[in-house]
Amino acid sequence: MSAQIAVPNRSDHREAVRPPSAPNGGPPVRPAAARVSFWLGVVAALLAAVVPFVVSDYDLFNLSRVAAVAIGVASLNLLTGFSGQVSLGQGAIFGIGGYAAMMSMRFIEMPAWAALLVAIAVGGVVGLVIGLPATRMGGFNLGLLTIVIAALFPVLLYRFSDFTGGQAGVTLSAPALPSPTEALTDAQWLYLVVLALLLATIAFLNRLVGRRTGRALSLIRAGRILAVSSGVDTHLVKLQLFVISSMIAAFGGAIFAFVLGLVVPESYPLIFSITILVASVVGGSRSWVGAILGAALVVYLPSITSSVIPGEASAYLAQLVFAVVLGVCVIVAPNGIAGGIRRLAIWMRRRSRARRSPRTAPTASPMPETTPDREEPR
Amino acid sequence: MNQQKRIRGRVATIAVAAVAMLALAGCTPRAAAGDSAVADDAPIVIGASWPQSGPLGSVAPGLSGLEAAIAAANEAGGVDGHEITLVTADDAYDPSRLVENERKFVEQDGAIAVVNFGGISIAGREYLGQKNVMGVSMAGNSPLSDVEAFPMQRAFWPDVSWEAQLQGKWLTENKPDAVVGYIGFNNDLTESHLAGLAEQGIVPAQVAAVAPGTADLSAQISQFQAAGVDTVIFNIGAPTGGSTLAYMQQIGWKPTVLLSSTVSDFHTVINLAGPEAVKDAYSFEFFKDPSDPRYADDEVIAQYTADMEASGHDADVSNALALEGYGLGAALIDALSRAESYDSEGLLTAWDSFDSTENPMLRDGITLDASAHGRVVFQYQLSRFDGTSWTDEGDIQDVRDLGIVD
Amino acid sequence: MTEFLQIVLDGLMTGVVYAALALALGVVFQGTGMLNLSQGELAVVAAYIAWACTQAGIPIWPAIAIAIVASAVLGAVIYHGVVRFVPPHREDSLMTLGVTLLLGLNAIVSMVWGTDPRAFPSPFGTWVANFGGLRLTSQQLGGVALVGATMLVMAVVFTRTTFGLRLRAVAQNPRSAAYLGLRSGLWLSAGWAAACAVGAVAGIVAAPTAGLSPAMMTVPLLMALAAANIGGISSRVGVVVGGLLIGLLTAIGGRYIPGLGGDLNVVFAFAAVIAVILVKPAGLFGRESVVRA
């Protein structure tokens, strides 16, 4: 096992000690393959944009839920995958964003876009308040602090029910994002907006981790001492990341609230925060596609398993299947589904190349050196 | 580097394919929404989104009862030749899954009504209103009485604050100097309950509003005792109520105990606390508990037991929630049998015209009646637990006659 | 004053369960680097096994012994079958694995035994000790004794036996231990077995008070996490003191800090934890580890 870990670390370091800015300051030269993946992304986005004209409103509702949750998962990926801070409280910040947006629409009658900005701002403030102590803590301590926040959030919502609406929560009398044209139903329009916001979020995050912050981050991940000796203020970078992550989580939460049409305390129990972490890890915490896959899994899998499995006590059998699937994912694909797919792709390519030129093919088993410790950002 | 990028290309390809497959697998094509009018012999579809797992997984027997009632009706030939199809789904007490289920029932199954268990049915009211589909919730939560804002939503249990007023009234009449302690969950049910008590001039000296799942209330009990509390009102579900009563019994503290009806049954409290610990507790009851030995020879309960066993729900027979689900099913069937049309509107109109309608769930002498609140149960029987069974104290009280509800 | 002392006692007695669970968390964390969120559910399984044994006619004490042994076996099986496939430095994967174990065990318990809470008879009888206006129930006193005995056994095993020494060696530095010829996998499963046995005691002590139900240990798990933090997860004394402290602070906070009440009383305890962490990140009794670049 130790040998497997030692080899891929090499590639991690290669990434880590890359000079902080590209030569000549210009954009890095993109090889042809990168352009291919870019166009693939475009095709995927276009495909997703066609979906609303093919499937029913019910499916669009679920897809919109996936997209909103995916934003929350992506915000956690930024934290967990790219700066090594494991948070169990992302669901609470997601919920705070939802409440901030819904309340500013309901009580101050803000337009939806302004409510989204309010959610982001509130998320930033909350992120700063939590982040100041949190970024000074290590793994276990941070885990506790964030799990406490997640556990207390619904209690506080009930406690201040005059303000939050208590069990009835906050509802809107009309859809938050009504369709502007006759040609599209509200569900179609909402889906398209949410999809666009998801893609914009991912583009933003991808840029963020690809730039200086990203390189500082890979130093921090490689080792705090290495980072400090390279002149990186680890606390500051981590705090920045925590705040940005909270802002995006709150943003995703606001969109989730728009999709659902309301916020109630029961939407944000502790297990929801934990589910976000599960989605992040199982999807692939170092991949943005992984965030979408993880979100799709936690939204769809419980419903699918419980509708497929008939009979008495089916709900718990469904829960068991859900747990087993997630457990198998964690063990089989330690870098998430996205990481697993990547591994599979490498393996297939090796095999096809080996078949073409059998004499130069490596004799060693193909797997060991293709199990990277950590997935590269996509 | 180059190789890495190419690999990423592959990742993207496979991922895109996976996402597309995930997205499209199981999706239904657009414009498949069917006509909701029921043809001559087409089944009448009712959807039930119920917690079968998750934090409220213990209320699942309610759904078994509902299924048993519908199955029995179908066995007897359905409603005017129409079979009733009950579509069920687990919502794990998660509002977003509840809304998902409701959308499926309405958009894909063509349900004319949607049944839920409790508090989170608030999440679906708006949607059902838009789609003009009737929603019925079991819950006693006060916000569900808001028929004006949500004309399609009804609730089956009486409003929790009415019973609180009965308790308050009973205390002012029988124990005017009582020092009251209240134990409940830290949510709106407690607020509604306290508001009901205050309406009758009772303000508890001590309130312990605890998070669900808290079981060890020894510190709170010490606090109650130190404050001189001599009357404790419980409106808290399993396991807290039972374990706290057991603890009080063990330390030999015997204040007057008032249990809210929905948390006074054997499965929720008595089995856990032990019958001795509940002895001499009072409760304003409206439903029967199949576990109570006094109903061992009850004809209605015998029929219920037979129907439960016939539909394969033997395991849940003794659970009061199952009988209440069965009662809810019976009420829906009664309304359907009187409905002029088998759609949401017809069902809703029939539901709103209960008039001294009998129901298998209700205590003898209590009936279903329509009201402007959308609630249907108004009568209570004060009962005292004699160590084996709940016994009647006095006559049935009607909150409408007492000026608690108009 | 009597009320204050009684509430202090009540709080400490509640904290006993947290302490035992926190000790289990600590042993697992030290060995496999896993923040085991399923520790509470494992304790629930143990309590159900004990209950099922009593239902089958086995007297309560042998039933408890069976439950503890079965839990230890279950712990070793879980380590061997699942946990060892995830490398120790993958904090997030391990935590997720804990969550899947939690969900899976919860589902199995709910399917086998149902979700209705069940009465679990106290193995210590139902008498009350009164002294100076204060009282303790037999269950509270017995719980303290049982947990105390467990801690004592653990302390002896870990510090006085070769078995414990090897266990600690593997947990602290698997590579050096390997040079000594210790098979780390075997010893880490032994660590899991020990942790689950301690967790089983927590479940059995909690069950008579809380009533046996699948969600019985959800709140105690949260408290045990806090206890592990405040005391220092690497210290066995620390987690136990931490557990008692959390129980105490929660009870006192609920009673004497206005506005906290019965649901936010944990805030006081958690605030104390966070204050301690900020001053001393390794916890009250924890040791800071020195890192070489």
pLDDT tens digits in sequence order for chain B, 406 residues long: 455 555 555 666 666 666 666 556 567 777 644 444 555 678 999 999 999 988 888 899 999 999 999 999 999 999 988 999 999 999 999 999 999 999 999 998 999 999 999 888 888 888 899 899 999 999 888 888 888 889 999 999 999 999 999 999 999 999 999 999 999 998 888 989 999 999 999 999 999 999 888 888 999 999 999 999 999 999 998 889 999 999 999 999 999 999 999 999 999 999 999 999 999 999 999 999 999 999 999 999 999 999 999 999 998 999 999 999 999 999 999 999 999 999 999 999 999 999 999 999 999 999 999 988 889 999 999 999 999 999 999 999 999 999 998 7
- In sequence order, what DSSP letters do the residues of B69-124 get, joined into one string? HHHHHHHTTTBTTBPEEEEEEE-TT-HHHHHHHHHHHHHTS--SEEEE-SGGGHHH
Identify all chain B residues contacting C206, using CB atoms and an 8 Å cutoff. Answer: 215
> Is the preceding omega at residue B239 within 30 degrees of 0, hence cis?
yes
Confidence class for position A35, pLDDT limits 50, 70, 90: low
Tokens (6 digits) for A327: 């457990």
**B283 pairs with which residues across the strands?**
B259, B383
In degrees and rounded to multiples of 5, residue A231 shows phi and psi of: 85, 25
Tokens (6 digits) for B51: 């917690």
Write the secondary structure of A248-294 as one string of H (helix), E (strand) and C (coil).
Answer: HHHHHHHHHHHHHCEECHHHCCHHHHHHHHHHHHHHCCCCHHHHHHH
Distance from the Cα of B402 to chain A's closest Cα (Å) equals 28
Confidence class for position C268, pLDDT limits 50, 70, 90: confident
Instruction: Choose the closest CB to C96 out of A140, A151, A282.
Output: A282
d(CA A275, CA A268): 10
Q: Which of A90, A132, A281 to mutate to test the interface with C (most CBs of C within 10 A)?
A: A281
Which domain CATH number covers B259? 3.40.50.2300
Distance from the Cα of B226 to chain C's closest Cα (Å) equals 6
Is residue C105 scored above 80 in pLDDT?
Answer: yes
Segment A119-159, tens digit of pLDDT: 999 999 999 999 988 887 766 788 888 888 999 999 999 98
Identify all chain A residues contacting C293, using CB atoms and an 8 Å cutoff. Answer: 223, 225-226, 229
Judge contact between B260 and B235, C-beta under 8 A: yes
Identify all chain B residues contacting C10, using CB atoms and an 8 Å cutoff. Answer: 218-219, 222
Q: Helix %, strand %, coil % for chain B, to 5?
A: 45, 20, 40
Instruction: Choose the closest CB to B143 out of A168, A302, A303.
Output: A168
Residue B352 inside a domain? The answer is yes
pLDDT at position A183, please?
Answer: 87
pLDDT at position A211, please?
Answer: 73
List Cβ neighbours of A166 (8 Å cut-off, separation of 6 or more).
A157, A158, A265, B187, B188, B191
Name the residue of chain C whose CA is nearest to B238's CA. C117
Range of the domain at B56: 44-158+296-375
Is residue A370 scored above 80 in pLDDT?
Answer: no
d(CA A356, CA C96): 41
Judge contact between A363 and A350, C-beta under 8 A: no
d(CA A103, CA A106): 5
* Cβ–Cβ below 8 Å for C103 and A319: yes
pLDDT at position B21, please?
Answer: 61
Chains touching C (3+ CB pairs < 8 Å): A, B
Is residue C293 scored above 70 in pLDDT?
Answer: no
* Cβ–Cβ below 8 Å for C229 and A151: no
Average pLDDT for residues C35-55, to the nearest whole number? 96
d(CA C56, CA A353): 63
Judge contact between C96 and A277, C-beta under 8 A: yes
Three-state SS at C126: coil
CATH fold of the domain at A37-310:
ABC transporter involved in vitamin B12 uptake, BtuC (1.10.3470)
Q: Which of C115, C118, C222, C249 to mutate to test the interface with B (most CBs of B within 10 A)?
A: C115
pLDDT at position B237, please?
Answer: 86
pLDDT at position B58, please?
Answer: 87
Total domains, chain B:
2
Instruction: Choose the closest CB to A167 out of B22, B24, B188.
Output: B188
Residues B109, B206 share a domain:
no
Among A43-57, A267-281, B12-26, the minimum mean pLDDT is found in: B12-26
CB < 8 Å from B in window 318-377 of A: 318-319, 337-338, 341-342, 344-346, 348-349, 376
Is residue C95 scored above 60 in pLDDT?
Answer: yes
Q: Is C99 on the interface with B (CB under 8 A)?
A: no
Instruction: Choose the closest CB to A59 out of B5, B16, B27.
Output: B27
Q: How far is CA A230 from CA A17, A23, A237, A282, B143, in A?
A: 10, 19, 13, 32, 59
Cβ atoms < 10 Å from Cβ of A357: 8
pLDDT at position A309, please?
Answer: 77
Identify all chain B residues contacting C254, using CB atoms and an 8 Å cutoff. Answer: 219-220
Of B91, B108, B105, residue with least CA distance to B26: B108
Name the residue of chain A whose CA is nearest to C37's CA. A274
Residue A297: what residue type? L
Residue B110 inside a domain? The answer is yes
pLDDT at position B11, please?
Answer: 61
Residues B257, B154 share a domain:
no
**Mean pLDDT score of chain A:** 81
Distance from the Cα of B395 to chain A's closest Cα (Å) equals 35
Residues B350, B306 share a domain:
yes
pLDDT at position A1, please?
Answer: 32
Average pLDDT for residues C228-255, to the nearest whole number? 91
Instruction: Choose the closest CB to C218 out of B57, B213, B250.
Output: B213
Distance from the Cα of A141 to chain C's closest Cα (Å) equals 6
Identify all chain A residues contacting C101, using CB atoms and an 8 Å cutoff. Answer: 323, 327
Residues B252, B345 share a domain:
no
Q: Is B315 on the interface with C (CB under 8 A)?
A: yes
- Across the B/C interface, how many CB contacts are shorter than 8 Å? 105
H/E run at residue B134: strand B134-137
* Cβ–Cβ below 8 Å for A293 and B60: no
In degrees and rounded to multiples of 5, residue A190 shows phi and psi of: -60, -45
Segment A300-346, tens digit of pLDDT: 998 888 888 766 567 899 899 999 999 999 999 888 998 888 888 88
Is residue A284 scored above 60 in pLDDT?
Answer: yes
Is residue C69 scored above 80 in pLDDT?
Answer: yes
Residue C98 inside a domain? The answer is yes
Residue C291 inside a domain? The answer is no
Residue B268 inside a domain? The answer is yes
Q: What is the CA radius of gyration of chain C?
A: 19
Q: Is C184 on the interface with B (CB under 8 A)?
A: no
Residue C25 inside a domain? The answer is yes
Q: Burial level of A354, CB count in 10 A (0-12/13-18/19+)?
A: middle
Residue C290 inside a domain? The answer is no
In degrees and rounded to multiples of 5, residue C290 shows phi and psi of: -95, 130
Q: Is B365 on the interface with C (CB under 8 A)?
A: no
Distance from the Cα of A43 to chain B's closest Cα (Å) equals 9
Which domain CATH number covers C52? 1.10.3470
ipTM of the complex: 0.91
**Mean pLDDT score of chain C:** 89
Residues B148, B105 share a domain:
yes
Of C221, C241, C220, C223, residue with least CA distance to C283: C241
Residues B264, B363 share a domain:
no
CB < 8 Å from A in window 125-144 of B: 125-127, 141, 143
* Cβ–Cβ below 8 Å for A229 and C293: yes
Q: Is C115 on the interface with B (CB under 8 A)?
A: yes
Tokens (6 digits) for A325: 């699937």
Residues B318, B349 share a domain:
yes
Name the residue of chain B whose CA is nearest to C252's CA. B219
Distance from the Cα of C265 to chain B's closest Cα (Å) equals 9
pLDDT at position A55, please?
Answer: 86
Q: Is B14 on the interface with A (CB under 8 A)?
A: yes
Q: Is B55 on the interface with C (CB under 8 A)?
A: yes
Instruction: Give the rounded distance of the alpha carbon of B60 from its chain centre.
Output: 10
- Percentage of chain A lying above the pLDDT 70 cut: 80
Name the residue of chain C whose CA is nearest to B248's CA. C137
* Cβ–Cβ below 8 Å for C93 and A324: no
* Cβ–Cβ below 8 Å for B60 and C214: no
H/E run at residue B173: helix B160-174
Residues B281, B321 share a domain:
no
Judge contact between B245 and B257, C-beta under 8 A: yes
Residue C233 inside a domain? The answer is yes
* Cβ–Cβ below 8 Å for B250 and C10: no
Instruction: Choose the closest CB to A331 out of C86, C111, C233.
Output: C86
Side-chain-side CA neighbours of residue A190 (13 Å) = 29
Segment C166-176, tens digit of pLDDT: 888 887 777 77
For CA atoms B64, B66, B69, B75, give the dihedral sign. Answer: negative
Average pLDDT for residues A236-252, to the nearest whole number? 93
Of C218, C239, C226, residue with least CA distance to C102: C218
Instruction: Choose the closest CB to B119 out of A48, A167, A171.
Output: A167
Instruction: Choose the closest CB to B219 out of C7, C107, C213.
Output: C7
Confidence class for position A227, pLDDT limits 50, 70, 90: confident
Among A274-278, C173-177, C193-197, the minimum mean pLDDT is found in: C173-177
Tokens (6 digits) for A37: 């993946």
Phi-psi category of residue A215: left, alpha or beta, with phi > 0 → left and psi -120 to 50 → alpha: alpha
Identify all chain A residues contacting C34, using CB atoms and an 8 Å cutoff. Answer: none
Total domains, chain C:
1
CB < 8 Å from C in window 182-201 of B: 186
* Cβ–Cβ below 8 Å for B209 and C139: no
Average pLDDT for residues C109-137, to the nearest whole number? 91
Is residue A212 scored above 80 in pLDDT?
Answer: no
